[in-house]
A and B are shown apart, each in its own frame.
Chain A
Amino acid sequence: MDEKPLFDGSFSVVGGGNYDNAGEVSTSIKTILKKMGLPGDVVRKVALVSYEAEINIVSYARKGMIRLRVVSDRIMIEAIDEGQGIPDIELAMQPGWSTANQKTREMGFGAGMGLCNIKTFSDTFHISSEVGKGTHLKIIINTNSSSLQ
């Protein structure tokens, strides 16, 4: 990272199936990006990615954090959690594959699309995980890509 970031901040996320404030970080991120004047579709993509990552931390980890870094031509989201980790990443990336519990499903999640959605809306997506330790996502969304609808 050579360029001085326009924004660099980390937000902690409470896990353990506690949905009370789930989504708060993503709303904050959205507000920050909007204030920076970034285009609507980019803001929505970042908010979406952040939200899915945040919900994953809430649903499956003990706790975690989301780091947002904005530079001139791209935005980086990093989601790091402490929790059960993912034993088989390939399986977890399959649409429909889910290990959601009853509570998660009742909230409207657990359709097994979270990681897929994140990957779909990222320009660069990297995931690593260690069972018993946690999961680490690194996402880059370009801000001057022509993804306008």
Chain B
Amino acid sequence: MDLESVIKVLNLKVRSGEDKLKTEVRGGYAGDLLSDVMANSKEGDLWITRQVHQNIVAVASLKEHAGIVLVQDSEPAKDTLEKAIKEGIPILVSELSGFEVTARIYNLLKKTD
């Protein structure tokens, strides 16, 4: 399933990476501990977190995530957004809680398996 479809179904707000919406979303990873995300997430994952500081861009970039979903209407910090735009990392925002967004993305991807 591509990023654009996920965005549409879940009503996510796009803050950066508008040109990357055709990226394939291969899986998902929910977590706020950067060291854990670095160790355990995979390429093509949609990373769900509430961390908004600029380090999230580096992590998403290194791990080649499909994008980052910020939950509970968290907005990226100013320098985070700048970095994301520069590196072409999609940052999406959802008003839902981490559990709801994570769960829905999981089931969405499962349906298209």
Contacts and interface: CB of A to CB of B under 8 A. Distances in A.
A99 to B, nearest CB: 13
How many chain B residues sit at the interface, stated as a range, is under 10
What is the predominant secondary structure among interface residues of chain A facing chain B? loop
Contacts of A111: 32, 50-51
What is the predominant secondary structure among interface residues of chain B facing chain A? loop
Nearest to B35: A106
A132 interface: no
A84 to B, nearest CB: 22
Interface in B53-75: 53
A96 interface: yes
Contacts of A108: 33
Interface in A107-130: 108, 111
Contacts of B33: 106, 108
Contacts of B52: 96
9 contacts: A96-B52, A96-B53, A96-B77, A106-B33, A106-B35, A108-B33, A111-B32, A111-B50, A111-B51
